[in-house]
Amino acid sequence: MKKTYQILLICLMIAALLASGLPGSLVQAESEQAAAPKAEGSADALNLLEKTYSEKLQEWSEVPIIPNANIIVSPAKDVENAALLVSLQDSFNYGQETLRWNKDAKITFDIHVEKTGLYQLAFDYYMLDDSILPTEGYLQINGQYPFYESRHILFPSRWENKPLAEKWDRYGNELLPRSQKVKLWQKVYAMDSSYFHMEPLKFQLKEGLNTVTLVNTRGELLLGDVRVEAPAQIQTYENYLMSFPAEETGAERIDTLLITEAEQLLYKNDSSIRAASSRDSKVTPYETNKLLLNMIDAGSYEEGGQSLTWELEVPQDGYYQIALKYLQNTQYDLPVFRRIELDGVVPFREVDNYAFPYTKKWRNETLGSEDKPYQFYMTKGKHTLSMTVNLSHMRPLAEDIFAKMREISRMTLEIKKLTGNKLDLYRDWNLLEYMPELDKQLSSWADDLDQRFEEISLLNPKVKEIGEIVNLKLASKQLRSLAKDPNELPNRLNLFSEGSASASQLLGTLLQSISESPLALDRIYVSQDGKLPSPNAGFFKKSGETVKRFFLSFTKQSYSSSNKINGELEVWVNRPRPFVELMQKMIDEQFTPESGIAVKLSIMPDENKLVLANASNRQPDVALGVSNWIPYELAIRNAAMDLRQFAGYEESIKRFSKGAIIPFSFEEGVYALPETQNFWVLFYRQDILDSLKLSPPDTWQDVVEMLPELQRLGMNFYEPLAQYKGFKPFNATTPFIYQFDGELFDESGMNTAIDSEQALEGMKFMTDLFTIYNLPQDVPNFYHHFRYGTMPVGISDFNTYIQLKAAAPEIANTWKIALHPGVEKPDGTVARWAPTGGQTGMIFKGIDYAEESWKFLDWWLSTPVQVEFANLMQTTYGMTFMWNTANLEALEQVPWPEEDKEVISEQFKWVREPSRVPGAYMVEREISNVWNRVVFNGDNPRTAIDDAVVRTNREIMRKMEEFGYYANGKMIRPYPVPTISSIDKWVERK
């Protein structure tokens, strides 16, 4: 592989020499190629795939909608599906045989229509699994995806809050109920999974026979009938009133206000929608000295398609007004929208996309128009009211932003072709000679953004400019500035497409923002007279509550580290309150009754103060959620306890990756255990790579070989070094050193080893990726580029995984993860070494309850406890609260997709954290400096490394002397550098 790199380097050098001799002709040739119409094979990333649903609707504008169409198809009767058949007895009272649709199962059925037209598809289904992940799949018609959105069809579950046996925590605060899945037959239309289109998807079916294929990508359910229907039209409010009896003059009206607390749900379609505690005294229920669940948390009720349902009961037939007490102070000046249904249907068009304006304080919103409340007819008895997050008003803006980002990306590629992707502030470019419409194009984009800004501003005519969409103005301003002097664009790409303040990044941030629609709810009012209580407390009530809380602040505070009680283990947790509440409940229900050891959790004020707490003898017994570099700093200062001394340590450590233990090792001891663990894997867009006939790269050689094809089409590969501005941390640089068999330190620990031939080869390749192979040097947000297809493959971590799972539903079935690219060895194995980071648990020295602390730490990190906690976190708080446990046995059981767990588990075999020695921070800093010198200044790698070694060794010697390992030019005592081999020596593995 090394020889291949050398050959490529020589070729590129020859090309560079030719270019330097013929600059005019070369640039002109490149510019002519750029200015020429795109060849059929030169389409950008998105054009490699199917058209979007919006584009297909325009294409189908002349295709008729067939009225009154209602065709019922039973896939269970198709012989091709016989292997999936479920008997009538096992079909949960459906009344006929059904099909079991599980992972990778394919169901096909034929639909015969008499006329070509647009139809909707609805499915009867019964959820079988207990996973919190939605069941999903893709849909094809006649062997083809009809549009891009058909790659991801969701089958949502219904959830309800499960009452708790014990409703209150040890401090008297109300605990959050757990969600449980309701299993029943449901009906769902094929929908756009991003819910920018709120109406069911329309499919063109040709006259005669059409074959529909459904393939499961996750989950398990029973599939009943499929209904082919004509798109329904929602009636107007005027027609709605005409369909019910007119209200009789003088009829008796009830004057009672019917109140439903919003947090008292009947059911929801997302387990993560949850109640929260508000300290506003007018939010009910409320107590000064307790935290009560009294509202729907806005942050959990903001994603397109999320739905809540309540049960209402009215005492008599008649017309009623419906009002909601809400708070929407997140989307500045921008209303949020909800679809409102009564008894499962939208009663009239005016509430299909109802606006809830921005408000800084709680507000009563009576559903109506221009101060005239809508009248909803309800018969005596129980009814259901549902509210669904509706993003359709934001769809035109989202599509326009997406298009502009694609165009900006394409133009950036053309500019880099002309300039050779070299930034030179002292060189003038004449871009207009080769791109004569450049200034007009930039101005046109700015005009489009300004027009879109005006259109969105109509949603709130009371303000001059909507603050939430100010990024449109900022991006437009930058584009106009660039249009004034387009020849300077190569030197101003940081304002155009690269960097956190670029026009492209501003639009990407806005796109994420408008995909969210948060709304907090306190109460639902149903009345006939429309009289409602004030939504906010008056001055005197607020003042009284402030005084009460002031005096209560001097009393015992929940989860505070200042209230240590004798006889209880004091455990500091460096996590938010929701984590701590759930952990304390599990401890009180399981650990304390089983062990007899009382444990009090406290929210850690600042993990950096652990050293100070130990110095003042106020340290806790155990600390959880501690960054993985802190235990070493405490151990070398004799403040942490060696865990190897405890019985059961040998069994406990087998649960974790050996390489993850390295940073907790000091001399012959281990001073912490990993609690959570990050991972670095390859993310790739299967849809785009398939279109390009490319496979996900397995080695770095594969990466190099796929780059020309990606870059030819305006795409690229993402390497995490591009995420960091100036300083490149170990987690981004050490993979190249370890994969090429290099080391950070020599065996004595007194010198760095980054000047070895192996380390030099790895660091040279690390810089070649950016200087020779043209990887982007600055990528503030890989998630956006991956989502929009400009970087369809790259290396990233757990945070990106969560973002894609939670906030990119439109590409849910089109991306996958694979093992980290590595270096192939002579025996055929691929070295994929990469660090993980994460958080740890540790025990402090000098405490009274050492054995009890170890029993607690061992219990908390055990497999059953980690699995239960992971399930509870995800069920209660949603996908963004996935628990990345470091316990390898627990990882196999957490509610993640099986194929992803297999990849992550395999990658964890290649975990290798940097060894810790006094002065290691200087090695990290100097490796970063080497990268910057080589990539930005063009320095020779060997020279840069030699200079780095001198500075690093000087600092290591200084720190070794400080900690008593070195004095008077001699080593006083050896410093053992921890490695995976030393971890193995300490544990006798089975």
Instruction: Give the containing element (helix H, strand E) for 214.
Output: strand 208-218
Q: How confident is the model at residue 8 (pLDDT cuts 50, 70, 90)?
A: very low
Mean pLDDT is lowest, of 7-21, 473-487, 726-740, 931-945, for 7-21
* CA–CA gap between residue 121 and residue 189 (Å, rounded): 6
Q: How confident is the model at residue 541 (pLDDT cuts 50, 70, 90)?
A: confident
Q: What pLDDT shows up at residue 71?
A: 95
Q: What is the mean pLDDT of residues 811-815?
A: 86
Rounded to 5 degrees, what angle do the CA atoms 796, 799, 802 make?
A: 110
Please give the share of the chain, as a percent, with pLDDT higher than 70: 93
Q: What pLDDT shows up at residue 554?
A: 66
Q: What pLDDT shows up at residue 15?
A: 39
Q: What pLDDT shows up at residue 30?
A: 33
* pLDDT tens sequence across 297-334: 999 999 999 999 999 999 999 999 999 999 999 999 99
Please give the share of the chain, as a percent, with pLDDT higher than 90: 66
The pairing of strands 665-666 and 267-268 is unpaired
Q: Is the pLDDT of residue 906 over 90?
A: yes
Q: What pLDDT shows up at residue 564?
A: 66
Q: What pLDDT shows up at residue 988?
A: 52
Q: How confident is the model at residue 911 (pLDDT cuts 50, 70, 90)?
A: very high
Q: What pLDDT shows up at residue 20?
A: 35
41 compared with 599, residue with greater pLDDT: 599
828 compared with 491, residue with greater pLDDT: 828
Compute how many other C-beta atoms are within 10 angstroms of the C-beta atom of residue 854.
21
**How many CA within 13 A on the CB side of residue 726?**
1
Q: What is the mean pLDDT of residues 68-97?
A: 94
Bridge partners of residue 229, in order along the sequence: 70, 120
Q: Is the pLDDT of residue 617 over 70?
A: yes
Compute how many other C-beta atoms are within 10 angstroms of the C-beta atom of residue 544.
14
* pLDDT tens sequence across 114-167: 999 999 999 999 999 888 888 999 999 999 999 999 999 999 999 999 888 888
Instruction: Give the containing element (helix H, strand E) for 796.
Output: strand 793-796
Q: What pLDDT shows up at residue 526?
A: 97
Q: What pLDDT shows up at residue 482?
A: 92
Q: What pLDDT shows up at residue 68?
A: 87
Compute how many other C-beta atoms are within 10 angstroms of the C-beta atom of residue 726.
8
Query: In degrees rounded to 5, what are phi and psi of residue 226?
Result: -115, 130
Q: Is the pLDDT of residue 611 over 70?
A: yes
- The secondary structure of 641-662 as a DSSP string is --GGGSTTHHHHGGGS-GGGSG
Dihedral angle sign, alpha carbons of residues 98, 100, 101, 106: negative
Query: In degrees rounded to 5, what are phi and psi of residue 698?
Result: -100, -30
230: left (phi over 0), alpha (psi -120 to 50) or beta: beta
Q: Is the pLDDT of residue 990 over 60?
A: no
Closest CA to 627 of 397, 842, 461, 920: 842
Q: How confident is the model at residue 250 (pLDDT cuts 50, 70, 90)?
A: low
pTM for the full predicted model: 0.83
Mean pLDDT of all residues in the chain? Answer: 88
Which DSSP symbol is given to 640? B
Q: What pLDDT shows up at residue 444?
A: 94
Q: Is the pLDDT of residue 4 over 50?
A: no
Q: What pLDDT shows up at residue 251?
A: 67
Q: Is the pLDDT of residue 13 over 70?
A: no
* pLDDT tens sequence across 833-845: 999 889 999 999 9
Residue type (1 letter), 923: V
Q: Is the pLDDT of residue 885 over 50?
A: yes
Dihedral angle sign, alpha carbons of residues 622, 626, 629, 630: negative
Q: Is the pLDDT of residue 484 over 70?
A: yes
Task: Identify whether the C-beta of residue 610 lies closer than 8 Å to the C-beta of residue 845.
Answer: no
Mean pLDDT is lowest, of 4-18, 86-100, 333-347, 951-965, for 4-18
